[in-house]
Structure 1
Amino acid sequence: MFRRKSLGCRPTPVDPAKVASQAFRTPLQRSDNENREDGSSAPKRSKTDLGFRPTIIEPERICTQFRSPMPKLNNDDEDGGGKRKRRKLIRIERPFDTERIDVTDPMRSKLADKFSSQFITTSLSEHETILQKLLSKPFVIPIPGYNLSGRALGMGRSSMRVALFDPYGEGAVVLFTPPPMTHEEEMKMKDKKLVHVVVDPCLSKVLRPHQVEGVKFMYNCVNGRNIENYRGCIMADEMGLGKTLQCITLMWTLLRQSPDCKPTISKAIIVCPSSLVKNWDKEIHKWLGDRVHGLPVDTSTGGKDEITSTLRSFMLDTRVRAASPILIISYETFRNYSDVINSAPIGLCICDEGHRLKNNENLTYKALSGLKCDKRILISGTPIQNDLLEYYSLVNFVNPGLLGTASEFKKKYENAILKGRDGAATDADVQRGNERTKEMIGLVEKCIIRRTSTLLTKYLPVKYEHIICCRNTPLQDALYHKLIEIEKETRAFEKQKSDSGKATASALSFITLLKKLCNHPSLVYEEVQNRENKFHATTSLFKDPFNPKRLDPSLSGKMKVLDYLLAITRKKTDDRWVLISNYTQTMDQFIELCKLRGYGYVRLDGSMTPKQRQKVVEEFNKPDSGIYCFLLSSKAGGCGLNLIGANRLVMFDPDWNPANDDQAMARVWRDGQKKHCFIYRLLATGSIEEKMFQRQTHKKALSSCIVDAGEDVARHFSSDQLKELFKLESNVFSDTHDKLKCKRCIKGVESIDPPDDADCSSDLAHWFHSQVRQFSLF
């Protein structure tokens, strides 16, 4: 150390060994010849001379005691005892206060190299260097799909708004494009700038052109761009066009994006039949993976308290990006817990199979109308099923008040349109009906999108649809005439009664009896056997011994045709069948027929749980399945099922509602089908079944006129003709064909081919017509 001297004196050198660890070297040190102006040589300096003047600081000037960083030396005896030495501190003053140091000085660089070389004493061997290069790994971003482009370490995120996905990328589906702006305008907007809304690429890459169009239409509807102040929409595409995928795409886009660079909605609710709750959850996972999770709620979720707790937690979750922002619930469960669901607002409501809301007076309709949500999507491939008032209910649900009140709609639109559609309407009625039709279409066409299944011809195999009028057997004709005769006498007697309700119930029961008779005589045997039944007199028509539990296909015209179709297909092809009926008793007979002919079969009806139904469907759809016939109840499995394992389908009996039949017949002609499809509708000739089919045709013509905006739709049947239910036309090949007044057939033989653009959705008059007298000609 230095002993105390007055400032300006040269320090006295000490033993270098004591200060070796703290020797000072300065890179600014210059040679003595450079420092002396006269060039004379300077006296030699000791090895510890630092070349500058130190300033000695007394210890008492320091507020706290300084602890030396040097290791303790064994020289304590110098001050006596074992006491620690008091040491002086050195503050270095550079002698170049008046000059700026030249960092480019070559001497400075040499000294710096010399100084650093004393500390870098070791280096990695060549072997270690090679191993480090081999074992080193590049940095990988742990977030899947994260794009690091445009980011740099130490740089903050740009405040400029950008779209979530590239709107100019290949195959990008843009739902909203901001108005063009100059660069100066963009700089002024900053955090208020609008951005593109782009469909997630994981969805846009699988959307077909008509589905892209549908998503864009619905997006404009729910954002009020199509009709000001109205945000509802009806997705009315026919079966198989991908309505579910289009709605999932819209919902996912709204949950994540908006022109304001934030989600448009925070929560969505999907209301559907109970059999489709799990199916919707699977569809969401199929298309979106783990990006979002649905919350399915049905009777299998738990008890009342558990369901209430689940729904309340969902409604109270106000986070922008919740873990499960999509509630999937059945119509029945929604109605029972509507007080919980309607307690808070919902961003988007999707109602699948929305024709369940066709009656604006039922409890389900009223419960859903109380939902605090203005963005409403109603999915229905058949928005008009029976009459225009049902259509009004659907439109009024998604856009309340658009068509006025129900009474106003009926007075202004329904009465005039139906009168003009009647086969016996005058020219004035037709003209007025057309005017009202165009006026109503002009209002609703901006909130309803409709595409027919003809679009599927681009993606699916050919579909052939046959309507086969099957002659009744002699036993069926005899029973039919006898039952009608007895019913007329009964109705004449009941008309004298004041209670008309009993007569109505009796008429409905009689209609059901006739429909069963058209399927097979054994289905009415037990009922007429009852001696208290008014039809007991028909028992004598059954030949003894008659066993209703043993199936005889030859006693029913339709059953004979079905028996032949199954047999010849089994012999000549590897096709499989779906057999559909509205009655479980008829399905029992299907089972007897399969057992009689040795066909493998499975059955799906209303007694099965959703899990059992799904298991049966999956088993049947396996390519190597040995099941030949899938027996399906129209009401239990008419919608939502995918039965592409079969390519042939028989609709054994008709429904009053054409939508139910259309839904059931669409089970095989769907995405994934690889073979040509054949649809057979069996009708008992001249019977009530043909009358029902004629009413279906009349309703479909009304739907084509309103929903499809069809022009010049033919009016084949008058209201009086449609009322003639209890009349058997037994001496015709087809009562329906006769009432069509076909202009292409001469004496029952088709002489003019249908139009080239005719298909299964065309008017019946444009179908091929033929008569087959023997099974060998099928």
Structure 2
Amino acid sequence: MYRRATSLSQPSGNGLTKPFKTPTLVQTVQRVLPVRKRKRVSYKENAPDSDSEEDNRKGKKKKKEDVAYIDPDADIVNVNRIYPAFKPKPFEVVAKKRFSIPEMRNAAGELIPVVMTGISLGIRPQAILIPRPLHDPMADHAIVLYDPTTDDRETDEERKEREAQDAKEKEEKDRAEALAKSGLQNPHKSLKALLGLDKDKKKTMEKVPVVIDPKLAKVLRPHQVEGVKFLYRCTTGMIVENQYGCIMADEMGLGKTLQCITLMWTLLKQSPRAGKPTIEKCIIACPASLVRNWGNELVKWLGSGAVGTLSIDGKDNKTELVGKVRRWVAASGRNVTLPIMIVSYETLRTLQAELANCSVGLLLCDEGHRLKNDESLTFQSLNSLQVKRRVILSGTPIQNDLTEYFSLLNFANPNYLGSKNDFRKNFENAIVRGRNADASADEHRASEQKLRDLSALVMKFIIRRTNDLLSKYLPIKYEHVVFCDLSPLQLSLYKHFVASPDIKKILRGTGSRPLVAINILKKLCNHPELLQLPEELMGCEGLLPEGFVGARAEGESRGYSARGRGAPSVHSEWSGKFMVLDRMLARLKSETNDKIVLISNYTQTLDKFEILCREKGYGFLRLDGTMNVPKRQKLVDRFNDPEGKEFIFLLSSKAGGCGINLIGANRLILFDPDWNPASDQQALARVWRDGQKKECFVYRFISTGTIEEKIFQRQASKQALSACVVDEKEDTERHFTAENLRQLFQFKEGVLCETHDTFKCKRCKNGRQFIKSPALLYGDASTWNHFTNAELKNNHDDLLRQEVGLPEVSFVFQYISH
């Protein structure tokens, strides 16, 4: 250190210019290494290796392994021989060979099927496809349900995405604020955040039109196109936000089934987003007798195999049924092979637990008036399903009162009208008060105002068209209400019963069995032998004729008729309605080739029809509640066959009054009325519907002056209520007070038509109609044509003209469709 310091202080500086050397040994060690030789490389195609010529001269054969060997002493290496250059074959050579997927076989030599996955090979980028609608909206006769150029409203899918994005941003913001308050927030931004890559890129999906399938568009009539557009707008929430239900309240025969199939098929296949459906699954709930009919309708309009359906028709046992339903519930996305479930209301109640956690896209409720009672098990079972799109199909939305009407609306769009008590307070009480015949002018005005307010709310979700539209497509329908006088036996028994002490107690309000008495009178109006006499009418022994048998035990009369031996005969002369029926059937059999449907509310009456047909040798078929569902459709198909020999179809109104298509017949007799006008209207619409080619004649038999007339009058009152709320007919008259409707057991003997007297008709004088009705309103018989017995000679119907001069038919109301 001393020397170093001294040298630095010298001004000459020789030590600073010398390079620094590390200390070494005195003697240096020298290692002798071979000189590295770099081989020359030849890139010529046929250049020889250094030793190749010598080897060739010696005639040595090289092994294949020697090709990859490089002699370290060689001067030249031929790279092309070790790594030959690739030359593609000409396209003409390659294209001659046919491409086929390689086959794989198992140990047994069997061919293993190859499943195409559709996975693209390599790293080819995903193709950018221009969004296209499923069907061309510019094609001829194309029906567009959604047009993105005019319908700029936010779709349901867009709203869901927006809400999800807003929720995500809010969550991130809340998390950042929480970290800032706790002092744990990182003040430095990540590179991803700085570059703006942390935010999701919002892809603006181009919306496409939704177009009805051309195979359905070509069969839809104008009113059905309007109906499908209404259904689509309601079920996609385009009418009122967050309200997805509606009521298809078209009258029978207008094609509600086809309209709903079109809606369902469109939602299953299309949406404003190209290639994506609106819904994945759909449930069709209907009466048990219509399960198979819905399956047939799907095949009829969409084609066989177009859509998979799970039809629960009662053929499977409980274990198989539950297994099928669980697989249906578990399926989602591309695994949904059976998107449509067709099930009866009764079976759906038993499957409530299995369907509880299943998300359903659409629920169709055929004959939806079964949901009129919101406390019933059926209503509660369907209401518990996870489905927001709910469509109710009902030709008669109002059946008894506005409370039932509210139940239907509340099922389709829950809480839209508030609670039941709110509905009663805001609408029902005022409307019903104003509809009474003895209502004051102020009550009537208040009722009309409430009616307009209610209509403004609910008509957004209800579409209602009457049978008047069918006049363009169907033949004329003549509907008659035929008032038949009681036979002498019926008259004596009826007068005896209404004068009995039991009826007097009921009229005083002290009787305890009014329903039993009503049922006795209704059966008596059909035929006295439907009653067990004299047990059910005490003291009538002296009125019964010789040979009177009375009602048999349940099933006994069917047993007699089935064996064909010892079957009792029908005494048509003991019933006024049976005498008219007997003459009509004889005329049809002898002079026409028409078929007829006979409908009754009592299977006992059907038993009498069956015995009458066997006596006369008439071919007939019978459908009632004892027949299982699979056999019902076969029976209907057999009757509708033009080559079928049976010209009479016996039908129970409860078992087959809903949805069954009997267009093979063009005549129908409803033998007895029901308290519910909807049941009668359903039954009357079995023949006059799509597919009918002949003029239709419909007859409703009513016993003159009896309880059946009171029932018919009450039906008129209910239909007037329906017309006010749903049809909005301003000229529906108010005929009956509440007091009139309680006078069921009063019997007026000798009148031609008590109902006509109640109308106080100004168009008739001295039993003859001298002023033609300005308009025939369906459901309001006061506007129909009125005929006494003598005036029936001017009636269009041959069967009614033959009743002129006979004592059974006293009066007739006539409605002509167009």
TM-score, with structure 1 as normaliser: 0.78
3-state SS in 2 of match to 1:341: coil
2:407 to 389, 393, 401: 393
* Distance 1:770-1:489 versus aligned 2 partners, 3 A rule: closer
Residue 297 (str. 1) matches residue 312 (str. 2)? yes
Is the Cα contact below 8 Å between 2:280 and 2:336 reproduced in 1?
yes
**1:481-536 superposed Cα distances (whole Å, 9 cap, x missing partner):** 1111115466269966xxxxxx44x1101111101110111222xx2333xx5x22
Is the Cα contact below 8 Å between 1:277 and 1:297 reproduced in 2?
yes
> What is the alpha-carbon distance in structure 2 between the residues aligned to residue 749 and residue 677 of structure 1?
25
**1:166-188 superposed Cα distances (whole Å, 9 cap, x missing partner):** 11111111111113699xxxxx9
**What corresponds to 2:110 in structure 1?**
none
In the TM superposition, 1:370-449 aligns within 5 A as: 370-449=384-463
> What is the alpha-carbon distance in structure 1 between the residues aligned to residue 762 and residue 434 of structure 2?
23
Is the Cα contact below 8 Å between 1:298 and 1:333 reproduced in 2?
no
> What is the alpha-carbon distance in structure 2 between the residues aligned to residue 689 and residue 162 of structure 1?
61
**What corresponds to 1:466 in structure 2?**
480
* Distance 1:239-1:321 versus aligned 2 partners, 3 A rule: farther
Cα offset, 1:672, TM superposition: 1.4
Is the Cα contact below 8 Å between 1:235 and 1:377 reproduced in 2?
yes
Cα offset, 1:449, TM superposition: 0.6
**1:306-355 superposed Cα distances (whole Å, 9 cap, x missing partner):** 22222121111121562111111111111112111121221111111110
Is the Cα contact below 8 Å between 2:289 and 2:629 reproduced in 1?
yes
Residue 518 (str. 1) matches residue 545 (str. 2)? no
Is the Cα contact below 8 Å between 1:465 and 1:678 reproduced in 2?
yes
Code of the aligned partner of 1:461: P
**What corresponds to 1:586 in structure 2?**
605
> What is the alpha-carbon distance in structure 2 between the residues aligned to residue 717 and residue 611 of structure 1?
44
> What is the alpha-carbon distance in structure 2 between the residues aligned to residue 156 and residue 493 of structure 1?
84
3-state SS in 2 of match to 1:707: helix
Code of the aligned partner of 1:648: R
Code of the aligned partner of 2:609: F
Is the Cα contact below 8 Å between 2:289 and 2:632 reproduced in 1?
no
**What corresponds to 2:785 in structure 1?**
768
Residue 475 (str. 1) matches residue 489 (str. 2)? yes
Cα offset, 1:616, TM superposition: 1.6
1:713 to 732, 736, 739: 732
* Runs of at least 5 residues in structure 2 that lack an aligned partner in the other structure: 1-39, 68-75, 81-88, 97-123, 153-200, 551-567, 793-800, 805-818
> What is the alpha-carbon distance in structure 2 between the residues aligned to residue 200 and residue 247 of structure 1?
13
Cα offset, 1:630, TM superposition: 0.8
* Distance 1:428-1:609 versus aligned 2 partners, 3 A rule: same
> What is the alpha-carbon distance in structure 2 between the residues aligned to residue 53 and residue 159 of structure 1?
49
In the TM superposition, 1:137-216 aligns within 5 A as: 157-179=127-149, 192-216=205-229
3-state SS in 2 of match to 1:299: coil
Cα offset, 1:362, TM superposition: 0.9
**What corresponds to 1:543 in structure 2?**
545
Is the Cα contact below 8 Å between 1:161 and 1:190 reproduced in 2?
no
My pick for the range that moved more, 590-599 or 678-687, is 590-599
2:47 to 41, 48, 56: 56
Residue 268 (str. 1) matches residue 268 (str. 2)? no
Residue 576 (str. 1) matches residue 595 (str. 2)? yes
What number of residue pairs does the alignment pair up?
644
Cα offset, 1:78, TM superposition: 5.5
* Distance 1:487-1:650 versus aligned 2 partners, 3 A rule: farther
My pick for the range that moved more, 281-290 or 444-453, is 281-290
Is the Cα contact below 8 Å between 1:652 and 1:681 reproduced in 2?
yes
> What is the alpha-carbon distance in structure 2 between the residues aligned to residue 253 and residue 411 of structure 1?
40
Code of the aligned partner of 1:708: D
Larger RCO (CA within 8 A; separation ≥ 6): 2
In the TM superposition, 1:623-702 aligns within 5 A as: 623-702=642-721
Code of the aligned partner of 1:569: L
In the TM superposition, 1:23-422 aligns within 5 A as: 56-58=47-49, 79=58, 157-179=127-149, 192-261=205-274, 262-289=276-303, 290-303=305-318, 305-320=319-334, 322-422=336-436
Identity among equivalent positions (%) equals 47
> What is the alpha-carbon distance in structure 1 between the residues aligned to residue 61 and residue 207 of structure 2?
80
> What is the alpha-carbon distance in structure 2 between the residues aligned to residue 189 and residue 673 of structure 1?
55
3-state SS in 2 of match to 1:731: coil
3-state SS in 1 of match to 2:273: coil
> What is the alpha-carbon distance in structure 2 between the residues aligned to residue 583 and residue 268 of structure 1?
36
Code of the aligned partner of 1:174: V
Code of the aligned partner of 1:293: G
3-state SS in 1 of match to 2:149: coil
Code of the aligned partner of 2:49: E
* Distance 1:487-1:257 versus aligned 2 partners, 3 A rule: farther
Code of the aligned partner of 2:133: A
> What is the alpha-carbon distance in structure 2 between the residues aligned to residue 595 and residue 84 of structure 1?
105
> What is the alpha-carbon distance in structure 2 between the residues aligned to residue 718 and residue 59 of structure 1?
126
Residue 529 (str. 1) matches residue 534 (str. 2)? yes
**1:683-732 superposed Cα distances (whole Å, 9 cap, x missing partner):** 00000001000001110010011011111311111111111100111121
> What is the alpha-carbon distance in structure 2 between the residues aligned to residue 547 and residue 247 of structure 1?
51
**What corresponds to 1:104 in structure 2?**
none
Cα offset, 1:58, TM superposition: 2.4
Cα offset, 1:91, TM superposition: 7.9
> What is the alpha-carbon distance in structure 1 between the residues aligned to residue 459 and residue 679 of structure 2?
24
3-state SS in 2 of match to 1:645: coil
3-state SS in 2 of match to 1:324: coil
**What corresponds to 1:491 in structure 2?**
505
My pick for the range that moved more, 319-328 or 210-219, is 319-328
> What is the alpha-carbon distance in structure 2 between the residues aligned to residue 168 and residue 54 of structure 1?
64
Cα offset, 1:763, TM superposition: 2.4
Is the Cα contact below 8 Å between 2:623 and 2:656 reproduced in 1?
yes
3-state SS in 2 of match to 1:378: strand
* Distance 1:53-1:317 versus aligned 2 partners, 3 A rule: closer
* Distance 1:517-1:180 versus aligned 2 partners, 3 A rule: closer
* Distance 1:728-1:56 versus aligned 2 partners, 3 A rule: same
* Distance 1:217-1:419 versus aligned 2 partners, 3 A rule: same
Code of the aligned partner of 1:277: V
Is the Cα contact below 8 Å between 1:266 and 1:320 reproduced in 2?
no
> What is the alpha-carbon distance in structure 1 between the residues aligned to residue 645 and residue 507 of structure 2?
55
Cα offset, 1:266, TM superposition: 1.2
1:725 to 744, 759, 763: 744
* Runs of at least 5 residues in structure 1 that lack an aligned partner in the other structure: 1-6, 8-51, 61-65, 69-74, 93-115, 125-153, 183-187, 497-502
**Superposition CA RMSD, Å:** 3.2
> What is the alpha-carbon distance in structure 1 between the residues aligned to residue 48 and residue 708 of structure 2?
118
3-state SS in 2 of match to 1:466: strand
Code of the aligned partner of 1:684: S
> What is the alpha-carbon distance in structure 2 between the residues aligned to residue 301 and residue 710 of structure 1?
48
Cα offset, 1:83, TM superposition: 6.8
> What is the alpha-carbon distance in structure 1 between the residues aligned to residue 342 and residue 253 of structure 2?
21
> What is the alpha-carbon distance in structure 1 between the residues aligned to residue 679 and residue 141 of structure 2?
37
> What is the alpha-carbon distance in structure 2 between the residues aligned to residue 596 and residue 400 of structure 1?
55
* Distance 1:665-1:81 versus aligned 2 partners, 3 A rule: closer
**What corresponds to 1:10 in structure 2?**
none
* Distance 1:308-1:729 versus aligned 2 partners, 3 A rule: same
